[in-house]
Amino acid sequence: MKKTLAIVSLEKEVGKSTLALNLANSLNIITEQPTFLLDLDFHNAGLTKILGLQELPASIHDITLKNLHPREAAYKHASGFYFVPNFCISKNFSSSLLAKNISKLKQENSLAILDSNSGKGMLGSLEAGDEFIIVSSFSKQALEQSMQLASIIESNSKTVLGIVFNKTKTNLDASSIEKIELAIGRKVLAVLPEHNSLHAANLKNHPMTYLYPSIKPTLLFKTLSQTLLNHSDLNQPIQNKILA
């Protein structure tokens, strides 16, 4: 699986970084190929904070400014995936250089996952990403923002795989999901519940899918990962595959 998958959202506190982290761990296990997770949040560096990393010799800034290969800026997590941190230390940014260097990972048959916010991170993702997952909540405003973001992505000749509803507090049946899909004109890839284990894992600086491999939310991530590897499965929402 050599591609660059971008996890994006215009909504705050929707669990985008947590989704990217657990997806990276699941895909690394399933594919048995090098998986690189890159923190493109140049404002808050959410992933870097979750993993508890302090100032290190190399980071995303060395990729975007010094033409460093992502592998040289990556640190291997205990679970096996590689992580490129962000320390929000640079005002300069070259999205074209970022895309050029990330493309080196694809040439090596590696998977790159980008966790980006708005601004610089989004610019980097739009140039470097191949396929996009939009993370959203159920609110009307959030869905409108997600549709606007999808249009922007596709206007850049990129592929939007679909929407993931994250940190949800209610289950949806297949009929409800189908109505949402018809309303927004996008595939719902997954409905992921809010779970205490996610917060507990973040406090321990690890993905939930690594610390708690057998719980139901971890199984949802595993199924989402399998679906992303096999696009023909995109016709069935993830929640129904596990929870029905």
On the question of pLDDT at 218 being above 60, the answer is yes
Neighbours of 215 (CB within 10 A): 13
Residues forming beta bridges with residue 39, ordered by sequence position = 115
* 150: Cβ contacts below 8 Å, ≥ 6 apart: 132, 134, 160, 186
Average pLDDT over residues 107-115: 92
Average pLDDT over residues 190-201: 91
Dihedral angle, C-alpha 33, 53, 219, 15, nearest 10 ° = -120
Looking at residue 1, what is its pLDDT? 58
pLDDT tens digits, residue range 35-72? 999 999 988 899 999 999 987 889 999 998 888 999 99
pLDDT tens digits, residue range 80-101? 999 999 988 766 778 889 999 9
On the question of pLDDT at 242 being above 80, the answer is no
Residues in the chain: 244
- Cα 227 to Cα 123: distance, rounded to the nearest angstrom: 27
**What's the structural domain count of the chain?**
1
Rg of the chain over CA atoms, in angstroms?
Answer: 17
Q: Report whether 19 contacts 167 (CB < 8 A).
A: no
On the question of pLDDT at 140 being above 70, the answer is yes
- pLDDT > 70: percent of the chain: 93
pTM: 0.91
Single-letter code of the amino acid located at 160: V
Pairing of the two strands 75-76 and 82-84: antiparallel
Looking at residue 65, what is its pLDDT? 85
**Three-state secondary-structure class, residue 169:** coil
**Three-state secondary-structure class, residue 111:** strand
CATH code where residue 203 lies:
3.40.50.300
Strands ordered across the beta sheet of 159-168: 75-76, 82-84, 35-40, 111-116, 4-8, 131-136, 159-168, 188-193
Looking at residue 139, what is its pLDDT? 87
Pairing of the two strands 75-76 and 188-193: unpaired
Q: Report whether 73 contacts 97 (CB < 8 A).
A: no
Residues forming beta bridges with residue 190, ordered by sequence position = 164
Read out DSSP for 194-213?
--HHHHHHHHTTS-HHHH-T
- Cα 228 to Cα 27: distance, rounded to the nearest angstrom: 9
Q: Which two tokens stand for residue 141?
A: 């405003």
- Cα 239 to Cα 224: distance, rounded to the nearest angstrom: 9
On the question of pLDDT at 236 being above 70, the answer is no
Average pLDDT over residues 212-230: 92
Looking at residue 94, what is its pLDDT? 84
Determine the structural domain holding residue 149 and report its residue range. 4-243
Exposure of 218 in the CB half-sphere (CA atoms within 13 A):
16
**Three-state secondary-structure class, residue 187:** coil
